[in-house]
Amino acid sequence: MFTYLNPAVRERLVDEGSLLRIDACGCELDLREQAHGDELSLNLLGPIALPIAIGGNAQSVSGFAAEEEGAGGGTPDMGGMPGMGM
């Protein structure tokens, strides 16, 4: 998903702090460096504002989209398709 972003858009998101990568311990990694294929990491995009209304009352909710990277890529429930991990 994020792996295939237009490089200019990806760079802008990194500069804005909207796209980041964390390792299995939750430590932030440098997105400008190539990910190591043998180490699990997650690319996170957000926060993303989610327009939600409950009972007619607008709620302020944000979420993050995630993409698994490394350690084989993808997730078994998505057939191991790169960029489809959540």
Of all residues in the chain, what percent carry a pLDDT higher than 90? 16
pLDDT confidence tier of residue 79, bands split at 50, 70 and 90: very low
Res 19: pLDDT = 92
Q: The whole model's pTM is what? A: 0.63
- Name the average pLDDT for the chain: 78
pLDDT confidence of 57, banded at 50, 70, 90?
very high
Strand order in the sheet with 57-69: 28-29, 19-23, 41-54, 57-69
CA dist list (Å): 60 to 45, 52, 55, 65: 18, 7, 14, 17
pLDDT tier at 71, thresholds 50, 70, 90: low
- The residue with greater pLDDT, 71 or 86, is 71
